[in-house]
Structure 1
Amino acid sequence: MEQTVLSVRNLTTSFARDGLWQPVVRNLSFDIRPRETLAIVGESGSGKSVTALSIMRLLPPTNSRIAGSINLMGRDLLRLPDEEMRRVRGNEVAMIFQEPMTSLNPVLPVGFQIVEALMLHRGLTRVEAEAETVRLFDKVRIPAAKSRLGEYPHRFSGGMRQRVMIAMALACKPKLLIADEPTTALDVTIQAQTLELIKTLQAEEGMSVLFITHDMGVVAEIADRMLVMYHGDVVETGETAEVFRNPCKPYTRALLSAVPQLGSMTGRERPMRFPVVDIKTGEADTPVETPDTIAQADRPVLEVRGLTTRFDIRSGILRKPAGCVHAVENVSFSVQPGETLSLVGESGCGKSTTGRSILRLIEPRAGTILVEGTNILSSSARALSEARKKMQMIFQDPFASLNPRIKVGNAIAEPFLVNRMGTRAQARDKVADLLVRVGLKPEMASRYPHEFSGGQRQRICIARALAVEPKLIIADEAVSALDVSIKAQVVNLMLDLQASLGLAYLFISHDMAVVERLSHRVAVMYLGEMVEIGPRAAVFGNPQHPYTKRLLSAVPVPDPARRRMARSISNAEIKSPVRRLDYIPPVREYREVSAGHLVQSWGEEWAA
């Protein structure tokens, strides 16, 4: 029988709290064989990352305690002296973390950081280490590898920074690679590139992989076997294909049913709620299409024409403009009352800048923004304040959006009171009503933000946005950071609120499967420009622009049967929107493919 690379038995990890040891991982056991990928799946707080940190012995010994056994190639890591464990890390076991920017030293060139590790762990000379670093950069498909050794982390895109981290992890040819949510914060195309890269390198290097994630689509894409965790306990384990085909436990069924699947809306005209699953029983309701919410109004609630937002790049002692970032370039669209228009694209394409420009949180250079017929770009401060009552924004990180020192009831009441919409007594009644409306309890108003989960905090941000009774909500990656089941709950809440209040949404996201579920229309952005816009069914069912096709083809499919299929993934970075000061953008032409479905004509850059 082939020897296991890693054998974990009865792993229990506890943290000290109020003088007592509280276990957060209980009696966890699993094996990883050579060249095998095991995925640990679960939501935030399930104990996935603590398991990985326990294996690496990276938890602080002052307030953590690890029991059980962790055998790596026959050696129990929990019994090794600290000096010996330091040699194991990197040499035999390597780890990739979720956020590469916090894992890389921002003041050191990326090449030096890998060269230093090679000289320390493998005893190479500087010349040998630099040559090996170039080879590693080539292996992880970093373009112009030799010329980028001297660049700093901030000069790399998110996907390229993650490639640097993978190169660093592979530097000492480990037997086991632990990847802790390495694709969660990445765009869909960069995520696809990273997954393909890990699979390719695993085949070339003969590594075993422990992959930690909450994304079932990623699990289906990469894992041979999977282990499902819930609140520190193992719920279910088995071959990935078998667990997907025949999940035994209610929680596993709940996780699988909450996964948005691209193509699930084929043949449906209107948005549809996600199925709600009882975690205890695994029983799911039957989701239905939302009612027709788009009102036949005389004018759109939002009309954007020729919106252009640029940022000067200044250099030299006098800080003179040396270039310009064309963040949003001549973008036009409208949103009807009760309609959801989604803006999709990769990081840096201008989605968030568009949303912030509409609210004038960023000042546009040119264009027209009409809110119920009023041009807010030429409005006075008072008129702008009145217009902002009709538009509210929900941001990606709910914890950063809430003041940690202010109770959530006061945070929700603040816009109501600032805009003088009622008395303090009326504000208290309004807060209680809004908390109920977003699925929370009125008595929760006296709590602080840290006392809520991520999904609950996002509900609080939605309640605060509703306090001034807006007509339009701009949701900027509002569900991107949430676990799959919490994401489904928040999307369902947004659809319910749209049906009951007639809200219009400008939904900004890179999650194509969620966008397909809740959108009436979809607009695709690339390098600040809109390359395709149309009804959701038309854009997803008949994509025309090569970039739209690339986005859709990169979405992970939660079907383990497709795991062995080779996918054609572009390794190209998104191009820079930085231009010379004298740059004149080309005049773009659009053709109408079908009713309301417009596509930008493209040139030689997309010919391949």
Structure 2
Amino acid sequence: MHATSAVGTERVAPKAGQGSVLSVRDLKTSFLTSRGWVEIVNGISFDIDAEETLAVVGESGSGKSVTALSIMRLLDPEMSRVEGSVRLADRELLTLSPAEMRSVRGLQMGMIFQEAMTSLNPLQTVGKQIAEVLTIHDRYSGQAAMKEAERLLDRVRIPAAASRLNDYPHSLSGGMRQRVMIAMALACKPRLLIADEPTTALDVTIQAQILQLIKQLQKEEGMGVLFITHDMGVVAEVADRTVVMLEGRAVESDTTEAIFERARNGYTRALIAAVPKLGQGSENGPQHFPTLDRKTGIVAAARERPDTVRREGEPVLSVRNLVKRFDIPGGLFSGPSGRVHAVEKVSFDLRGGETLALVGESGCGKSTTGRAIMRLIEPQSGEISIEGTDIRALDKERMRDMRRHIQMIFQDPYASLNPRISIGDAIAEPFLTHKLGTKAQAREKAMDLLERVGLSADMASRFPSQFSGGQRQRICIARALSLEPKVIVADESVSALDVSIKAQVVNLMMDLQEQFGLSYLFISHDMAVVERISHQVAVMYLGEIVECGPVRAVFGNPQHPYTKRLMAAVPVPDPSRRKQLRPVNNEEVKSPIRPVDYVPPVREYREASPAHIVQVWGDDWKV
């Protein structure tokens, strides 16, 4: 494969006897808007050989997904215009009729989309959906198609494939749904697989499974792979060559090793520097991420932060034996058929100026813990105290007043903001609701907070739709600060952001902690970010804390098998590991659903080191 963009012309000879699977030349894609045609992809070129993986990497809006959709010809022809050349095995795709292109999709090119749940039909079993692909392309029919669907599910390492054929998408975990998508994409043995952010929405352990699975299947089938992502850690794991995109252009193209060792472009260096790596945390506490000065292209080194933790006096937030269970409805006239044990006897302390991270995979109970602490949902039992005040004993009015001291930042900033009111009004609203001053004072405070979170005061009149995802998250942080809280619950508040924007927002949160003495309950599944931002970490599994202690102790000497599994699954931004094919772990997270009469066992804990507590586990644990 060789790239022929203006920024990278190094050639790599194809493997003996193998030509280029995909050849893209001067690809340009434009969209029709009220201002006329707007070019989104501007002249990108590359080749992909058999058994080769090319990563197209860049942040949201860079044009990488539009590139994939242009190659697949999945854009609306009335609202888009695709120019240049796209050749699949010497066949020009851009001149094919819609009917001819439909025969190419699935048969010669397969695609895995980012969100499996929205790509699968919720009204059909996964077996029927895979069989449909086989039937459309006249590969199999009837029972033969279902039998092949079973073989494909087994091929993508779905346990008990025969019984899973009749499952609906909603009954599968996120990782298993993504495996079904891979099975559909590979059903007709395509020569090219396009994977568009296939692991972005997945937990770190599931991501590791999917990346290993794609590598194994590529080796077995000899496919070329176009892998689209914004995560340079993932790029290092999978890609032979890398094209870096910014604002629709390829700003750098080279072998993945060369990109990581001697990137020429400042934007590429910033993407690499912003990748959080396990083991890079400071011994002295949380540490800033490196940042890019876009004007000079210089990456500023991370700086140490002063110790902000107030260790004297009582904790600002204390949680003891918190329990939250959800009933599963039974029949019309019967009681619950079971219960989801979402949070089970969770206890921890959070001190002033401290960041405690709750980490674990989806379904472990960390977000439910945060919502129960805010009393957005009511726990069954337990104690929640803010500076000695038991908030579970407060009535609605007094609880509303208490929320001045504890605020929440949610994962999706767009869903958290009212699209019909300006961001200045959104930031001022809590201040006015709690009657802390006049409208003029609220407006002045909103403008001051916009400046503090790195935006300008004159943006106050704009609406949420006029901002990027990172800017909207800054607005949500400003709104949370308007009441001058003591504690902020940050629920996956940076997980949806591009890597460089994530670094900026995390740095901002640490700066604000330094300025205001804030305490953070930082809920996340990203172990590398947690290591960088946190003082303490609590690892959750099936609603329980299985390990808790200072970040240096837990990350430097993890004791519980689940903690070790999480840390082992974090992508390592080292291209030399790319050729390693590690065994695919097919284990799913166990279900937290229990019978109505289930009584949780009494857990025992031991102290691994000072303040480092680990749950004693049984023989059923495997890493």
Report the TM range for the smaller structure's normalisation: over 0.9
* Aligned counterpart, 1:327: 342
Residues 401-432 of structure 1: per-residue CA shift (max 9 Å, x gap): 11111111111111100011111010011001
Q: Retained in 2: the 8 A contact 1:269–1:537?
A: no
What is the CA distance between 1:280 and its match in structure 2?
4.1
- Cα distance 1:31–1:309, how it changes in 2: closer, same or farther (>3 A)? same
What is the CA distance between 1:319 and its match in structure 2?
5.5
Is 1:308 paired with 2:323? Answer: yes
* Aligned counterpart, 2:81: 65
Q: Which SS does the other structure have where 1:604 is aligned?
A: coil
**Which of 386, 391, 406 is equivalent to 1:371?**
386
Instruction: Give the alignment of 1:108-123 within 5 angstroms.
Output: 108-123=124-139
What is the CA distance between 1:84 and its match in structure 2?
0.5
Is 1:53 paired with 2:51? Answer: no
Residues 452-479 of structure 1: per-residue CA shift (max 9 Å, x gap): 0000000000000001110000000000
**Which of 30, 48, 56 is equivalent to 1:14?**
30
What is the CA distance between 1:604 and its match in structure 2?
1.6
The one-letter code of the counterpart of 1:136 is: L
Q: Retained in 1: the 8 A contact 2:260–2:272?
A: yes
Q: Which SS does the other structure have where 1:602 is aligned?
A: coil
- Cα distance 1:375–1:201, how it changes in 2: closer, same or farther (>3 A)? same
Q: Which SS does the other structure have where 2:329 is aligned?
A: strand
What is the CA distance between 1:199 and its match in structure 2?
0.2
Counterparts of 2:293 and 2:305, CA distance in 1: 21
Q: Which SS does the other structure have where 1:311 is aligned?
A: strand
- In the alignment of these two chains, the number of paired residues is 607
The one-letter code of the counterpart of 2:111 is: M
Q: Which SS does the other structure have where 2:153 is aligned?
A: helix
Counterparts of 2:291 and 2:193, CA distance in 1: 35
The one-letter code of the counterpart of 1:352 is: S
* Aligned counterpart, 2:351: 336
* Aligned counterpart, 1:217: 233
* Aligned counterpart, 2:152: 136
Is 1:23 paired with 2:39? Answer: yes
The one-letter code of the counterpart of 2:541 is: Y
Residues 256-299 of structure 1: per-residue CA shift (max 9 Å, x gap): 1111111111x522100011212343312232211110113421
Counterparts of 1:151 and 1:369, CA distance in 2: 40
Counterparts of 1:540 and 1:532, CA distance in 2: 11
Residues 366-389 of structure 1: per-residue CA shift (max 9 Å, x gap): 100001111111112222112211
Aligned identity (percent) is 64
* Aligned counterpart, 2:443: 428
Residues 189-208 of structure 1: per-residue CA shift (max 9 Å, x gap): 00000000000000011111
Counterparts of 1:28 and 1:484, CA distance in 2: 23
* Aligned counterpart, 2:268: 252
* Aligned counterpart, 1:535: 550
* Aligned counterpart, 1:44: 60
The one-letter code of the counterpart of 2:142 is: R
Is 1:575 paired with 2:593? Answer: no
Counterparts of 1:601 and 1:320, CA distance in 2: 34
Residues 33-82 of structure 1: per-residue CA shift (max 9 Å, x gap): 11100000000000000000000000001110000010000111000111
The one-letter code of the counterpart of 1:240 is: T
* Aligned counterpart, 1:598: 613
* Aligned counterpart, 1:186: 202
The one-letter code of the counterpart of 1:511 is: D
* Aligned counterpart, 2:248: 232
Counterparts of 1:279 and 1:105, CA distance in 2: 43
* Aligned counterpart, 2:7: none
Is 1:384 paired with 2:412? Answer: no
Q: Retained in 1: the 8 A contact 2:266–2:299?
A: no
Counterparts of 1:360 and 1:148, CA distance in 2: 38
Instruction: Give the alignment of 1:539-578 within 5 angstroms.
Output: 539-578=554-593
What is the CA distance between 1:250 and its match in structure 2?
1.0
Q: Retained in 1: the 8 A contact 2:215–2:581?
A: no
What is the CA distance between 1:8 and its match in structure 2?
0.4
**Which of 479, 493, 502 is equivalent to 1:464?**
479
Counterparts of 1:214 and 1:82, CA distance in 2: 31
Residues 225-282 of structure 1: per-residue CA shift (max 9 Å, x gap): 00000000010001101111010111111111111111111x5221000112123433
Range 335-344 or range 123-132, more displaced: 123-132
Q: Retained in 2: the 8 A contact 1:250–1:280?
A: no
Counterparts of 2:394 and 2:266, CA distance in 1: 55
What is the CA distance between 1:523 and its match in structure 2?
0.3
Counterparts of 2:546 and 2:457, CA distance in 1: 45
What is the CA distance between 1:318 and its match in structure 2?
2.4
* Aligned counterpart, 2:310: 295
* Aligned counterpart, 1:400: 415
Residues 575-598 of structure 1: per-residue CA shift (max 9 Å, x gap): 000000000000000001111100
Is 1:511 paired with 2:526? Answer: yes
* Aligned counterpart, 1:102: 118
* Aligned counterpart, 2:168: 152
Counterparts of 1:176 and 1:363, CA distance in 2: 50
Range 314-323 or range 61-70, more displaced: 314-323
Range 276-285 or range 343-352, more displaced: 276-285
Range 250-259 or range 527-536, more displaced: 250-259
What is the CA distance between 1:361 and its match in structure 2?
0.5
**Which of 293, 300, 305 is equivalent to 1:285?**
300
* Aligned counterpart, 1:83: 99
Counterparts of 1:90 and 1:566, CA distance in 2: 26
* Aligned counterpart, 2:182: 166
- Cα distance 1:538–1:568, how it changes in 2: closer, same or farther (>3 A)? farther
Residues 95-153 of structure 1: per-residue CA shift (max 9 Å, x gap): 00000000001111111111111111134121111110110000101111100111110
Is 1:261 paired with 2:287? Answer: no
* Aligned counterpart, 1:35: 51
Q: Which SS does the other structure have where 2:510 is aligned?
A: helix
Counterparts of 2:98 and 2:593, CA distance in 1: 48
Counterparts of 2:199 and 2:258, CA distance in 1: 24
What is the CA distance between 1:569 and its match in structure 2?
4.7
Counterparts of 2:102 and 2:179, CA distance in 1: 23
* Aligned counterpart, 1:199: 215
Q: Which SS does the other structure have where 1:478 is aligned?
A: coil
Q: Retained in 2: the 8 A contact 1:177–1:208?
A: yes
TM-score normalised by the chain length of structure 2: 0.96
Q: Which SS does the other structure have where 1:586 is aligned?
A: coil
Q: Which SS does the other structure have where 1:277 is aligned?
A: strand
Give the unaligned 5+ runs of structure 2: 1-13
**Which of 523, 541, 546 is equivalent to 1:526?**
541
Counterparts of 1:286 and 1:40, CA distance in 2: 26
Counterparts of 2:279 and 2:544, CA distance in 1: 26
Q: Which SS does the other structure have where 1:320 is aligned?
A: coil
* Aligned counterpart, 2:9: none
Counterparts of 1:123 and 1:538, CA distance in 2: 56
- Cα distance 1:568–1:271, how it changes in 2: closer, same or farther (>3 A)? farther
